[in-house]
Structure 1
Amino acid sequence: MSRSSVWSARLSFLTVACAAVLLLAVAGLRGSVALLLAAALGGAAGLAAAWWFLTHRGLWRWLAGTVVVLSPVAVAIVYMRHRLLWVVIVAGVLWVLAVAAGRQALTGPGDRPREFVTAAPRSPYLIMNPRSGGGKVERFHLVERARTLGARVFLLDGPAVDVAEVARQALRDGADLLGVAGGDGTQALVAGVAAEHGVPFLVISAGTRNHFALDLGLDRKDPSTCLDALTDGVELHVDLGLIGDRTFVNNASFGAYAAVVQSPAYRDDKTGTALEMLPDALTGADGPRLRLSVDGTTVTGSQAVLISNNPYTTGDVAGLGHRPRLDLGVLGVLAVTVRGSADAARLISGRGRARSLTFRTAPAAVVDADAPAVPVGIDGESVMLPTPVHCVIRPAALRVRVPRHRPGARPAPPEMDWTRLRRLALAGRRSTPEVNV
């Protein structure tokens, strides 16, 4: 363990102690307990009301929404009447600092995927979607720059284009690298062809969200920098997910999200469609009942199941931060099972995740349902697949060519493990070597 990690752990506990001492010193023991109880009750009411807002329609929804808004206001009024609002603000800042110091202490040395030095491609072929990402292809002059670097460019001019067949034809014509400037769904289709033929694949971050580019460490602000890989690049060997016979680079989602995205109205009115469909999707009144089988575990009745190409970090409720590695050879499998407002409140607050969240890593998973087919969101694109749906990982299936110099993926923020943090703070003092003079 490093000396800085030890001191960061001690700083985290010191900051927590300062927050507690501040509250006790200003409000006293009895007042502190009462005020903390008021905050807990207000928070619980707000979380329960949020679940009602999502799972009901009409008058009940808007009454619940009113409670969501007013519960923190009521807590703030209680503290203001006791002239302690400033204490809450200061204590909140101290807690933020404590968590930041704790995560700094728990962060291990970052390990990067292995890079392979290979010859630059002689005949690269790039498929670009000029509409993707709000017109990034034109805004960053990607076509002109790619052609200057010797690449052939194919522009997608309509939704009916068979992107996979375009990629296969390019290989028949002698292409030795395939690349895509577009969304993750298009990336996945061409990546599957590249993996099938063993040629390198180039990711150009010209999509809207660029999740795959993020986890590869590419620059999402300036997609033109991805083209540097054509002349000064290295290769990463990453895994691919396979759902049925279709490749995915990010994830496949089942349940509430997939059902909402499947609606024809979703594209024109995302918020309105989601609010209309979520009550039935979250309560199970509409849609198939899911059954997940993974690593010897079976989970039934989940509102949402997410199967990802390598696991996401799990510091947030949904577990959708990012993937620190894409070469671990496993799927990340997450199922959310909420059976009422109490479960929802515990899940959001972080106190009941073990009951509502199932998280596994495994080379394969199966999602079945009480229906012949289920909606699935594959890298953001909605399709219907026959059940049961089989998902597997393909280790090191894809050769991705990336620029030698790139921003790099963000380090994975560790979860706050207070037991481990305490051991680190105490063991650091015991393990300090003695100096003999």
Structure 2
Amino acid sequence: MAPHRGGVGGPGGAGAPAGSAGDRAGRARLALLALLGSVLVPLAAAGVRSVLWALVGVAGLALTVVGVWWTLAHTGALRALGAALSVTAPVAVLALYAATGMLAPAVLSVLLWLLAVTCARTALGPARTAAQRSGPTVAEVPRAPWVLMNPRSGGGKVGRFQLVGKARAAGCRVSLLEPGQDASALARRAVAEGADLLAVAGGDGTQALVAEVAAHHDLPFVVIPAGTRNHLALDLGLDRDDPAAALDALTDGVEHRIDLGYAAGRVFVNNASFGAYASLVTEPAYRDAKARTALRVLPGLLTEESAPGLRARAGGRRFDGLQALLVSNNPYGRAVDAAHPGRRERLDSGLLGVVCVRVADAAQAARLVRSPGSQGLVRLSAGEVVVESGTGVLPVGIDGEYAVLTSPVVCRSAPGALRVRVPRRRPGARRTAPAAADWPRVARLALNRPAVPGTQRTGSRGPGPARDP
């Protein structure tokens, strides 16, 4: 399947990084010029005395903050004093600036600083195409929607939430997934019979199989969170406590383009796990108690002598002697462990998230499982990841389902491959926070000297040197 590129931004954040690098470099240069101007303006007006005036301004701001705090947190005389302080401190500073001719330079300096920070944040934020800047597309009501439901998934959520009846009332043709049936084959048959929308009420593994068929035929896809954990639904902002609410996407929905991940041709919507992480999904208790099971068995799996070592290539770097590796469809938003995989800020970056684990002993393994900021864990992002093992085969957990693939396994992202349809109003939708004004990165971007993209290290002894993205 050829991946579809472009389309609107994903529901987790901004659009894919396909915009003009020249525009971002231009904003970075403007940010540096504005920052320099915010320093030079007061220097030109008052020379070295501008440092004293800056300290006066900082002191006034500090007194104002104290006054506001006293006003909000206390009563009686202290509250009255706080109210007076919160008013008199900024007025006194402004009056002092005006009397000494520093008011205009101070205001201009602050405005230049605000411009610098704004330009820096937009320069570091993800670039977006013109189509992505237009936002999500309003979805048309489908004529022949089809839903595949797994009645055993999530402890019987399909029956508990009466999803079959509600889907049929919404005009959907419903198929129940029986043991041993091929979800992909059922979806292909539905398309052949005229379905113009595919949906799944089940776990993420089933979601991925039907999503691949929808992507191949460029049909919209709806996620109904009827699985155990519903990680994809979480990142889409869906209400996991009310699976039936996802059916609102049929009549009042919007569409986004999101990525799909592939591991040696096997599709995944969340992640593909290797090494100890792959062995974890074979534990009988893992499906119903992921966190507790990971904390119990993962330290032993990471330090097991018989476990084959992993090698990986990603982002222009090579990693050897790994005990575990997690490749995710878009990077997770924070350091990841198997017990708490976190949440992806975006689903349309066109990149895979990579988490490499290499530990020296059981104590380090235990610390790593309990605290993802411990030594031994490296995170980066890349468009392609190659995973190898000396045994010729690789056990893999693909969206929580165990599989065995031939080594080496090439993992790749299919950017914008899937038209996912979600309700216009959903409780978990959130906007990505603007990028922080990281001035070293701004300077590198302005000078056209970017570091290795998407690389970040957690811990001081992870495999290989890390660079700031």
Give yes or no for TM over 0.5. Answer: yes
Letter in 2 for 1:257: Y
**What secondary structure is seen at the aligned counterpart in 2 of 1:262?**
coil
Distance in 2 (CA, whole Å) between partners of 1:271 and 1:395 is 30
Q: Which of 158, 164, 178 does residue 137 from structure 1 map onto?
A: 158
CA change 1:136–1:398 in 2 (3 A) is same
Alignment partners' CA distance in 1, 2:335 and 2:433:
7
| 1:236–1:399 Cα contact (<8 Å) kept | yes
Cα displacement (A) at 1:358: 1.7
Counterpart code for 2:401: E
Partner of 2:381: 361
Q: Which residue of 2 aligns with 1:329?
A: 350
Alpha-carbon deviation of 1:169? 0.3
Residue 300 of structure 1 is aligned with which of 315, 320, 324?
A: 320
Once the two structures are superposed, the pairs formed by residues 30-429 of structure 1 within 5 Å of their partners are 114-158=135-179, 160-262=180-282, 278=298, 281-315=301-335, 320-340=341-361, 343-344=364-365, 347=368, 353=374, 356-409=376-429
Do the aligned residues in 2 keep the contact of 1:133 with 1:207 (CA within 8 Å)? yes
Contact 2:277–2:325 (8 Å) recurs in 1: no
Q: CA deviation at 1:156?
A: 1.2
Query: Cα distance, 1:199 vs. partner?
Result: 0.4
Q: CA deviation at 1:282?
A: 1.3
Deviations 1:163-205 (A, max 9, x none): 1000000000000000000000000000011101110101001
Structure 2 Cα separation of the partners of residues 369 and 289 of structure 1: 6
Q: 1:414 to 1:207 in 2, by over 3 A?
A: farther
Return 5+ residue gaps in structure 2 as ranges.
1-57, 67-120, 440-469
Equivalent residue letter for 1:376? V
What is the CA deviation profile of residues 298-318 of structure 1, one whole-angstrom value per residue up to 9, with x for unaligned ones? Answer: 111222110000000125656
Q: Distance in 2 between matches of 1:317 and 1:280?
A: 15
Q: TM-score, normalised by structure 2?
A: 0.60
SS at match of 1:228: helix
What does the per-residue CA deviation read over 1:272-323, in whole Å, with 9 as the maximum and x for residues that have no partner?
9879965653124122210011011111122211000000012565672100
Q: Report the CA distance shift for 1:350/1:258 in structure 2 as closer, same or farther (over 3 A).
A: closer
Return closer, same or farther for 1:411/1:357 CA change in 2, 3 Å cut-off: farther
Looking at structure 1, the residues matched to 299 and 359 of structure 2 have their Cα atoms a distance apart, in angstroms, of 13
Alignment-mate amino acid for residue 122 of structure 1: R
Contact 2:335 2:379 in 1 (8 A): no
* 1:223–1:274 CA distance, 2 compared to 1 (3 A): closer
The 8 Å contact of residues 331 and 364 in structure 1, kept in 2 or not, is answered as yes
Q: Report SS of the residue matched to 2:360.
A: coil
Structure 1 position 115, deviation (Å):
1.1
Identity %: 55
Q: Contact 1:259–1:287 (CA<8 Å) still a contact in 2? A: no
Q: How far, CA to CA, are the matches of 1:266 and 1:317 in structure 2?
A: 14
| Aligned-residue offset at 1:257 | 2.3
Bigger Rg, which one: 2
Once residues 311 and 275 of structure 1 are traced to their aligned partners in structure 2, the CA distance between those partners, rounded to angstroms, is 22
CA distance in 2, matches of 1:272, 1:331: 27
Q: Provide Cα deviations, 1:26-79, integer angstroms capped at 9, x if missing partner.
A: xxxxxxxxxxxxxxxxxxxxxxxxxxxxxxxxxxxxxxxxxxxxxxxxxxxxxx
Given the two structures, how large is their TM-score scaled by the length of structure 1? 0.64
- Equivalent residues of 1:206, 1:223 under 8 A apart: yes
Query: What secondary structure does 1:178 align onto?
Result: strand
Mapped to 1, the partners of 2:189 and 2:255 lie a distance apart of 23
SS at match of 2:254: strand
How far does residue 374 in structure 1 lie from its aligned partner after superposition? Answer: 1.4
Partner-residue secondary structure (3-state), 1:166: helix
CA contact (8 A) 2:228 2:287 kept: no
Q: Which runs of 5+ in 1 are unaligned?
A: 1-5, 15-107, 421-437
| Equivalent pair of 1:262/1:383 in contact (CA under 8 Å) | no
- Matched to 2:341, the amino acid is L
User: Contact between 1:308 and 1:332, CA under 8 Å: does it hold in 2?
Assistant: yes
Partner secondary structure for residue 301 of structure 1: strand
Distance of aligned partners of 1:264 and 1:374 in 2 relative to their CA distance in 1, 3 Å threshold: farther
**Contact 1:324 / 1:409 at 8 angstroms: preserved in 2?**
no
- CA distance, structure 2, for counterparts of residue 223 and residue 267 of structure 1: 19
Q: 2 CA distance for matches of 1:268 and 1:192?
A: 26
